Amino acid sequence: MQFQRVCLEAFGYTLPAESLSSAELEAQLAPLYERLRLPAGRLELMTGIRERRFWPRGTLPGDVSIRSGRHAIAASGIDPASIGLLIHASVCRDHLEPATACRVHHELGLREDCLVYDLSNACLGVLNGIVQAAAMIELGQIDAALIVSGEGSRALVETTIDHLNRDESLTRQSVKSAVASLTIGSASVGVIVCHESSSRTGNRLIGGHAVARTQHHRLCHSGADEAGGDGMHPLMTTDSERLMAEGIATGAACFSGFLQRIGRDAAQIDKTCCHQVGAAHRRSMLESLGRSTDQDYPTFEHLGNTGSAALPISLALGAASGFYSPGDRIALLGIGSGINSVMLAVDWQTTRVQGDDPLAERMPWGTSATVGS
């Protein structure tokens, strides 16, 4: 993938006000911990995740995607009438049919001849959406696109807690397959991608590369296809150790091809933004690529793994906090269960971000809304 005329223009985000710490989550798992004699503090120690967040009960993915979409449009300053593509790209959606993107499109008042659809690919949905939008912009089919995601974790975390406390057949070994489910957090993000002629930032999307090692598609697996909010009762099983090992190998292969595609070597990458899973995954992934954690912006400690929103919202929060500077050459290191990896290169110039974070004052990123001029 190589792009000549595409800019990653602006971001909008929405974060929940309700926070559940790992210590509080472990307290809810008291029956399991007592039965297996597990030490307190184990979850945060293993994952590096201090807390994750939940939307209010009854919140639908589309509700927060609409808010993030409005933020992204406002931050970009572009005319909404120029948006020719809307993609809802999260794992979570309002219902099976119609596409959640339909309600988002209606509420945002976008034009009638805008392409509207859902796209879901685990944690890579938003990056996949950006690639599709960039290709259409390069072909002259559209001038601008909006990709949104609204990920909710309450149902998965609460169902997992209930299952772990009730299933007395679990052992210290078998319980490991549920740990990843306890790291999932909620977040929403919107991304504006546009033609360079409409850009106010000059944040050029250079190109990228993808690798699919789908022989590992069973390493992280949820149950039946369910949609909606509080009525869901999802469970997910994850072979975390193998998933991390195979995921890192997939990422390393993708990074090698990525550098070749964009015509740069590793020394020419100034900063990275990787998918946020946890401390061990982030450290191991970056080490395998010869990258320093000091050059990467983390959010997992306070947000957990927010699925398809994780990488783009980390880029947005990092940019708003000043971590990414004008002139930085940034590599977006995406990876998702399946196993798939997508990596994109962005030459950063100007930050245009607007967001809503009720807990911003106690977060490393500080402010709840920043718009670059």
The DSSP result for 206-270, as a single string, is EEEEEEE-GGGTTSEEE-S---SSTT----EEE-HHHHHHHHHHHHHHHHHHHHHHHT--GGG--
To the query of whether residue 7 is one of the catalytic residues in this protein, the response is no
Q: Which residues of 34-55 are buried (b: 16+ CB within 10 A; e: fewer)?
A: ebeeeeeeebbebbbbbbbbbb
Phi-psi sector, 366: left (phi>0), alpha (psi -120 to 50), beta: left
How many other C-beta atoms lie within 10 A of the C-beta of residue 302?
Answer: 21
Residue 355: closest CA among 51, 72, 66, 146: 72
Q: How far apart are the first and last CA of the chain?
A: 30
Could you give the angle at the alpha carbon of 316 between the alpha carbons of 85 and 264, nearest 5°?
Answer: 85
To the query of whether residue 123 is one of the catalytic residues in this protein, the response is yes
What is the residue whose two structure tokens read 């929940």? 16
d(CA 65, CA 93): 10
Q: What is the dihedral of CA 81, 83, 84, 87, to 10 degrees?
A: -140
Q: Where are the beta strands (DSSP E) in the chain?
A: 6-14, 18-21, 51-54, 83-88, 115-118, 144-151, 187-195, 204-212, 220-222, 236-238, 271-274, 329-336, 340-347, 353-356
Find the catalytic residue in 7, 92, 114, 123: 123
d(CA 273, CA 331): 6
What are the residue numbers of the active site? 97, 123
